[in-house]
């Protein structure tokens, strides 16, 4: 907010210029007001995630079809309580609304979305947004909740008071959207705005804004609904001193258990399909060299990674359900004391939890932490959390080396236990590092923790579905680009140099030679040269090692199907080496995207280099100790 907005009552803006380019509508609202649900409802699959240049805040853009086949671009902005640019989130929202964002023209209109069940407080944000003078539709969301809980509002009266059209909708059910589309259709023509009946308050003064909001609310005959009884009832269980942590533990175990058991049938089916398609495509190619490239290189390499799509989707589905239902905030609350013991604040918990899916969005999510030192500490430990890219590596090695035995009846199998153990050591490494950092270079006084507990809500199929589609796209794009390229390069290098028109034995190929060069360094960890190649290629992304090993073992023994990769590893690796490899993957920072995002977030190469060296060193030492211990014991 510029100073003049802060010190004077906002004046009426000039009417917006007649737009000639694409029409942009910004979606603004406080956290938990249902912005994303509204955005998904409006754009459906016609959306993409993007980054503003120079800042790390992710935003989503999508096309909305309005009357007569015209299109409007909707921009989903970060959730804010005010427009005072203090955190990076707020700065982005502020800059976009004022047209100060590079590469994005000033929006033609604003959709201000507020939670109608908490209108008096949410209307506080209306003051600064309306004072911008852009055509604004005030959307009161959760209309179904409001009426069910006995609340109500006079839309016409409120609209008069605010001087802007008001729509009462339920974004999750898609009710009341006529008015939204009508408004959006109107933004393609210049629409004059009427003056608000209530003079807008001085917007930096929160008590005054709140009083203004209460006044507007009461003039708009706003009836606050009864408290959310179901939320209270659920909290009586989820935040119960005994039942709460118990439920938390069960949720965590259930998630990991289902990653294995639910995903298995889908993975088997996918595996069979890929093998069948590979064989069929192979049968069409008479040239033996080309045949080997397609079947051994592409299908074994890329296929062995694509198989893990169901597992990753199930993980994202669970994280989506936990986040959309509101349980994640309770989990953060339960975990706060544990986090604070290691010098972190509760707010670090949510980025760290999403790091279980992927470290890149997690590191971006740290921007909500105001304290710079806390933020860097969280960024540095986030890659220790077991991201979904480690899953293929763990699953492959567990399936090959850990006997399928039940430990606690049907509830826990040996494989799940090892998997949980790997998640645990990642977490322990993270908190150990946090403690180390916070008691040395990143020392700071304890910072505050404030977290709003949203009411529990049913996650919508639409939002969950869109998340999964999004994630599948990211995963398959990577499989189609990075992993495909690595698979082809590995195949080529494994078939060179050519002697008398014949490809060399794999140990004599360029890949073999590189592998043998690095082998002495990794031998103490129990790895052979093929794993060494896998480690090198996995610097691009962790799951690439599975593709690489698929290619290498596929060339070595063309009769082996991808399921044969487990077999080949059992022949080629000791138990010590296999466990050491899992431990290595638990700690090492093998991910170019993460390194890039850390560099961008911390503003230099210093932290990513320290982080890479620290994590790789830790991975090497721990893998060495594990291999030596297991070899000595068995």
Partner 1 sequence: MVYSGDGVNAQLQLAIKSWYSKSLTLQLFQLDTWFEMQTAVKKAHQAKHNPEATNLTELKHGESGILDRLDLPEDDARRLMELGFLPGHAITPGHSAPGGDPRVFRVDGSEVALRRETARRLILRSARLK
CA-based torsion, 185, 191, 194, 199: positive or negative: positive
Cβ atoms of 115 and 30 within 8 Å: the answer is yes
Residue 610 lies near partner 1 (rule: CB under 8 A): no
Which helix (H) or strand (E) is 606 found in, with range? helix 606-633
Residue with tokens 């296929």, as numbered in its chain: 303
Chosen residue from 22, 443, 446, 477 binding partner 1 by CB under 8 A: 446
Shortest approach of partner 1 to residue 93 CB, angstroms?
14
**Piece of 41-49, 98-106, 166-174, 333-341 that binds partner 1 (CB under 8 A):** 333-341
Residue 221 lies near partner 1 (rule: CB under 8 A): no
Residues 117-146 as x/- pattern, contact with partner 1 by CB under 8 A: xx-xx--x----------------------
Shortest approach of partner 1 to residue 375 CB, angstroms?
15
Cα(305)–Cα(561) distance, rounded to whole angstroms?
A: 14
- Measured in degrees and rounded to the nearest 5, phi and psi for residue 388 equal -65, -20
Residue 452 lies near partner 1 (rule: CB under 8 A): yes
Q: Choose between 325 and 340: whose C-beta lies nearer to partner 1.
A: 340
Residue with tokens 């009341």, as numbered in its chain: 176
CA dihedral 109, 53, 59, 6 (to 10 degrees): -50
Residue 116 lies near partner 1 (rule: CB under 8 A): no
Residue 337 lies near partner 1 (rule: CB under 8 A): yes
Cβ atoms of 164 and 140 within 8 Å: the answer is no
Residue 163 falls in which region: left (phi positive, over 0), alpha (psi -120 to 50) or beta: left
Residues 21-60 as x/- pattern, contact with partner 1 by CB under 8 A: ----------------------------------------
Please give the size of the binding site for partner 1, defined by CB under 8 A. 40
Shortest approach of partner 1 to residue 69 CB, angstroms?
41
Chosen residue from 451, 474, 492, 539 binding partner 1 by CB under 8 A: 451
Residues 188-217 as x/- pattern, contact with partner 1 by CB under 8 A: ------------------xx--x-------
Cα(598)–Cα(610) distance, rounded to whole angstroms?
A: 11
Residue 334 lies near partner 1 (rule: CB under 8 A): yes
**Piece of 112-120, 132-140, 290-298, 390-398 that binds partner 1 (CB under 8 A):** 112-120
Shortest approach of partner 1 to residue 76 CB, angstroms?
21
Residue 112 lies near partner 1 (rule: CB under 8 A): no
Shortest approach of partner 1 to residue 233 CB, angstroms?
5
Residue with tokens 């082998």, as numbered in its chain: 519
Q: Choose between 440 and 448: whose C-beta lies nearer to partner 1.
A: 448
**Piece of 116-124, 289-297, 430-438, 620-628 that binds partner 1 (CB under 8 A):** 116-124
Cα(193)–Cα(137) distance, rounded to whole angstroms?
A: 11
Distance of CA 363 to the CA centre of its chain: 9
Residue 82 lies near partner 1 (rule: CB under 8 A): yes
Residue 375 falls in which region: left (phi positive, over 0), alpha (psi -120 to 50) or beta: alpha
- Which residues, numbered 222-241, are part of the site for partner 1 (CB under 8 A)? 224, 229, 232-233, 235-236, 239-241
Q: In what order do the strands lie in the sheet with 136-141?
A: 47-51, 58-65, 71-76, 23-28, 109-115, 136-141, 166-168
Shortest approach of partner 1 to residue 218 CB, angstroms?
14
- What are the residues whose beta carbons fall under 8 Å from the beta carbon of 310, sequence distance 6 or more? 262, 263, 266, 267, 270
Residue 95 lies near partner 1 (rule: CB under 8 A): no
Residue 449 lies near partner 1 (rule: CB under 8 A): yes
CA distances in angstroms from 470 to 204, 259, 354, 363, listed in the order given = 38, 19, 15, 19
- Grouping H, G, I as helix, E, B as strand and the rest as coil, residue 285 is coil
Residues binding partner 1 (CB under 8 A)? 81-82, 84, 86, 117-118, 120-121, 124, 206-207, 210, 224, 229, 232-233, 235-236, 239-242, 244-245, 329, 333-337, 340, 346, 370, 446, 448-453
């Amino acid at each position: 907010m510029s100073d003049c907005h802060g010190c004077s009552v906002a004046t009426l803006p000039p009417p917006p210029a007649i737009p000639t380019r694409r029409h942009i509508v910004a979606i603004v609202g406080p956290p938990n007001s249902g912005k994303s649900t509204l955005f998904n409802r409006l754009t459906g699959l016609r959306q993409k995630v993007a980054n503003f240049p120079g800042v790390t805040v992710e935003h989503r853009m999508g096309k909305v079809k309005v009357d007569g086949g015209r299109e409007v671009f909707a921009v989903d902005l970060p959730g804010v309580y005010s427009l005072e640019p203090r955190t990076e989130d707020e700065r982005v929202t502020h800059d976009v609304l004022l047209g100060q964002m590079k590469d994005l023209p000033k929006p033609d209109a604003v959709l201000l979305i507020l939670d109608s069940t908490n209108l008096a407080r949410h209307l506080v944000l209306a003051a600064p947004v309306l004072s911008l003078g852009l055509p604004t539709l005030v959307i009161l969301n959760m209309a179904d909740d409001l009426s069910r809980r006995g609340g109500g509002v006079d839309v016409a009266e409120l609209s008069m008071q605010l001087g802007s059209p008001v729509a009462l909708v339920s974004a999750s059910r898609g009710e009341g959207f006529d008015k939204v589309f009508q408004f959006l259709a109107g933004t393609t023509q210049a629409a004059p705005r009427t003056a608000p009946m209530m003079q807008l308050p001085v917007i930096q003064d929160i008590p005054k804004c709140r009083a203004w909001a209460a006044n507007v609310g009461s003039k708009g005959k706003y009836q606050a609904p009864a408290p959310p009884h179901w939320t209270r009832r659920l909290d009586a269980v989820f935040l119960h001193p005994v039942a709460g942590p118990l439920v938390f533990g069960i949720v965590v175990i259930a998630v990991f258990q289902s990653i294995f058991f639910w995903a298995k049938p889908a993975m088997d089916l996918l595996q069979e399909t890929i093998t069948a398609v590979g064989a069929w495509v192979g049968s069409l190619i008479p040239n033996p060299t080309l045949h080997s490239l397609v079947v051994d290189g592409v299908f074994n390499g890329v296929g062995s990674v694509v198989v893990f799509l169901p597992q990753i989707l199930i993980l994202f589905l669970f994280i989506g359900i936990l986040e959309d239902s509101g349980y994640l905030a309770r989990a953060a609350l339960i975990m706060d004391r544990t986090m604070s013991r290691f010098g972190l604040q509760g707010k670090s918990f949510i980025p760290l939890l999403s790091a279980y899916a992927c470290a890149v969005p997690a590191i971006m999510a740290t921007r909500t932490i105001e304290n710079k030192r806390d933020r860097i500490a969280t960024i540095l430990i986030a890659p220790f959390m077991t991201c979904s890219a480690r899953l293929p590596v763990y699953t492959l090695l567990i399936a090959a080396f850990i006997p399928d035995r039940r430990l606690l009846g049907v509830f826990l199998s040996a494989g799940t236990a090892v998997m949980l153990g790997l998640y645990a050591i990642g977490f322990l490494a993270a908190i150990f590092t946090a403690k180390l950092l916070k008691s040395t270079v990143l020392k700071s006084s304890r910072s505050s923790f404030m977290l709003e507990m949203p009411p529990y809500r049913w996650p919508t199929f639409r939002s969950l579905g869109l998340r999964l589609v999004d994630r599948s796209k990211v995963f398959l794009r990577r499989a189609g680009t990075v992993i495909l390229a690595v698979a082809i390069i590995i195949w080529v290098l494994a078939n060179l140099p050519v002697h008398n028109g014949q490809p060399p034995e794999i140990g004599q190929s360029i890949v073999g030679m590189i592998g043998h060069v690095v082998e002495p360094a990794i031998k103490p960890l129990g790895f052979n040269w093929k794993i060494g190649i896998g480690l090198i290629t996995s610097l691009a992304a962790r799951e690439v090692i599975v593709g690489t090993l698929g290619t290498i073992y596929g060339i070595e023994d063309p009769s082996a199907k991808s399921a044969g990769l487990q077999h080949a590893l059992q022949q080629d690796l000791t138990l010590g080496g296999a466990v050491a490899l899992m431990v290595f993957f638990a700690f090492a920072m093998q991910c170019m995207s993460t390194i890039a995002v850390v560099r961008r977030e911390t503003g230099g190469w210093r932290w990513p280099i320290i982080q890479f060296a620290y994590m790789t060193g830790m991975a090497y030492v721990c893998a060495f100790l594990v291999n030596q211990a297991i070899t000595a014991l068995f």
